[in-house]
Chain A
Amino acid sequence: MHPAPSVILFSVLSGAGFGLLAYLGFGFVHLYGWLAFLWWGLGYGLAIIGLFASTFHLGNPWRAWRAFSQWRSSWLSREAWASVATLLSCAPMALSDWLSLDLPRSFGVLGGVCALITVFTTAMIYTQIKAVPRWHHWITPLMFLTFALTGGAILAGQNGLAQLLCGLLLGVMLAVYRIGDGQFARRAQTLGSATGLGVIGEVTVFEQAHTAGNYLLREMIYVVGRRHAVKLRGIALVLATGVPAVLLLLPGIWGAGLAAVCHLIGALAARWLFFAEAEHVVGLYYGKR
């Protein structure tokens, strides 16, 4: 699948933002006054920048409000609802922390739950797509949630927890690669089965349906990236999990800051691979994957 920069940026930044909002909501960090304003602001900022970036890949972004209408069937619509619900439901707790209003923590817990639900809905947009076997697996939502919780923990200054989660994330990412690499084969679709011509004999592409490019080739059949996939996997694993876990040992805000930047860069690389390595079954008709 085509790795669109806007979508990669969206899902990584807003994922980390919603993760941070969850920790702030659940009350992991006790902040008051302007410090609370800054941290809640960071969570809101990341989430909103991410949501804003996601509209860049739309053909008609000014109609985006319509995306709220189909929550009964569409995960994308549910994501729109969940993100707005999170931004609204976190507000009382954020104000309370900032202005010392002493609202009960349950407000924050509600916001935190909404934040995690939002991350889940984002993941389900990909997980539901049967035509992309690599995504169509329960490990996909697990990966999105672990990324959000790890990024959020680093940003929330939960160093010990963040290091644990880095370890968990490493395991999840390895499982994602392990499972993902076998998913297309498990679908057991070939050019022969996709065309139904395999019953006659061995099917190969004689001539392409069109000599020029088209939307399908650009969007669904992205082959360039896979050559570097192994290298990039290593970089993503090290930057998203190993290096931040070590940097968090450094004292003070610098260690945490560097760890956050490093983790986000690793997460971006991992998310790029999430798209670039995903193969759509339509590639079979073109003899490409």
Chain B
Amino acid sequence: MTCLPVTTQKKLGLAIDLDTCVGCQACVTACKGWNDQGYGAPLSDQSPYGAEPSGTFLNRVHSYAVQPIDGLAQTINFPRSCLHCEDAPCVPVCPTGASYKRAEDGIVLVNEDACIGCGLCAWACPYGAREMDAAAGVMKKCTLCVDRIYNENLPEEDREPACVRGCPTGARHFGDFADPDSKVSRLSAERGGYALMPDLGTKPVNRYLPPRKKDQRSEASVLAPLLDIRASGFAGWLDRVLGKI
């Protein structure tokens, strides 16, 4: 049913730390690796070794350069995956009931057996979180690794999303945003976590933790007085003559 649940018991999602993310793309690979063999159709690649390779991914990492008014430019790496929006515009547009949001934990999923591959949900998502698989003709999106987080066949420490587990700097955190005491809620509160394009009314669950303020390079070096050496004698004469030319 593509009508959205009024509320969900949990609001599972990710807190993504833009300060620690180094843009290594490990989460992209971990996500593709896990979701290639688990939930639904595999994430296909088209012409992977050809001139124009292309493929389906559920998570992408952008790199942006940000130039503050004063201070040096910063490189900020920016992972982008489904935000499991509370008011997900991708769900009600689906004509078949394939797209749905779970009332128990808020995860937004696609029932691939019912998906006709019309692509309307991908149009409706402002964040580009959905990609149609070119081989299977069905819509793929982040499942929040629903087949890991509840999977009792996995050791306890692996019961979190593949991208979270695979991140070498710990820049991705998984948890329940409905619980104010959860790790992600506290992290988001401490660091001023924000939602993407909130004015579109999608109410994303995922939060982005902004980069911390960078140190300013101090203007003058403590060795500066020592550098102000005046040449004397022949060198001084040469300096003066050359300076006049």
Interface residues of A (CB under 8 A from B): 1, 57-61, 63-64, 66-70, 72-77, 80, 125, 128-132, 189, 191, 193-197, 199-210, 212-216, 219-220, 280-282, 285-286
- Do the beta carbons of B138 and A60 come within 8 Å of each other? yes
Question: In the complex, A46 Cα to B67 Cα: how many Å?
Answer: 55
Interface membership of B68, Cβ < 8 A: yes
Interface membership of B175, Cβ < 8 A: no
Question: In the complex, A179 Cα to B81 Cα: how many Å?
Answer: 32
> Given that A69-B96, A76-B95, A194-B197 are contacting pairs, would A125 and B64 also be in contact in the complex, using a CB cutoff of 8 Å?
no
- Do the beta carbons of B69 and A201 come within 8 Å of each other? yes
- Do the beta carbons of B123 and A132 come within 8 Å of each other? yes
- Do the beta carbons of A73 and B118 come within 8 Å of each other? no
A-facing mask of B45-89, CB < 8 A → 1, else 0? 000000011111100111111111100011110101000000001
Question: In the complex, A205 Cα to B95 Cα: how many Å?
Answer: 36
Question: In the complex, A146 Cα to B64 Cα: how many Å?
Answer: 44
The 8 Å CB contact of B64, one of A77, A195, A214, is: A195
Residues of A within 8 A of B94 (CB): 70, 73-74, 76
Question: In the complex, A206 Cα to B75 Cα: how many Å?
Answer: 7
Residues of A within 8 A of B62 (CB): 195, 205, 207-209, 285-286
> Given that A74-B94, A201-B69 are contacting pairs, would A219 and B2 also be in contact in the complex, using a CB cutoff of 8 Å?
no
Residues of B within 8 A of A203 (CB): 64-66
**Can you name the residue of chain B whose Cβ is closest to the Cβ of A63?**
B116
Question: In the complex, A137 Cα to B55 Cα: how many Å?
Answer: 34
The main secondary structure of chain A at its interface with chain B is mixed
Count B interface residues, CB 8 Å.
65
Interface membership of B231, Cβ < 8 A: no
- Do the beta carbons of B96 and A63 come within 8 Å of each other? yes
Question: In the complex, A282 Cα to B52 Cα: how many Å?
Answer: 22
Residues of A within 8 A of B2 (CB): 70, 72-74
> Given that A67-B118, A197-B66, A206-B75 are contacting pairs, would A75 and B93 also be in contact in the complex, using a CB cutoff of 8 Å?
yes
A to B CB contacts below 8 Å, 28 in the list: A57-B119, A59-B115, A59-B132, A60-B117, A61-B116, A66-B98, A70-B1, A70-B94, A72-B2, A73-B3, A76-B93, A125-B93, A194-B197, A196-B210, A197-B66, A200-B66, A201-B69, A201-B73, A204-B65, A205-B62, A206-B75, A207-B62, A209-B60, A209-B63, A215-B56, A215-B132, A216-B122, A285-B62
- Do the beta carbons of A216 and B196 come within 8 Å of each other? no
Question: In the complex, A286 Cα to B98 Cα: how many Å?
Answer: 28
- Do the beta carbons of B126 and A282 come within 8 Å of each other? yes
- Do the beta carbons of A67 and B68 come within 8 Å of each other? no
> Given that A64-B116, A216-B128 are contacting pairs, would A281 and B197 also be in contact in the complex, using a CB cutoff of 8 Å?
yes
- Do the beta carbons of B118 and A58 come within 8 Å of each other? yes
The 8 Å CB contact of B128, one of A64, A196, A199, A285, is: A285
Interface membership of B201, Cβ < 8 A: yes
In this complex, the member of A66, A200, A204, A207 whose beta carbon has the largest number of chain B beta carbons within 10 angstroms is A200
Question: In the complex, A80 Cα to B97 Cα: how many Å?
Answer: 14
- Do the beta carbons of A59 and B93 come within 8 Å of each other? no
Question: In the complex, A70 Cα to B52 Cα: how many Å?
Answer: 37
In this complex, the member of A64, A68, A73 whose beta carbon has the largest number of chain B beta carbons within 10 angstroms is A73
Question: In the complex, A119 Cα to B95 Cα: how many Å?
Answer: 17
Min CB–CB distance B43 → chain A (angstroms): 11
- Do the beta carbons of B3 and A72 come within 8 Å of each other? yes
Residues of B within 8 A of A207 (CB): 62-63
Interface membership of B92, Cβ < 8 A: yes
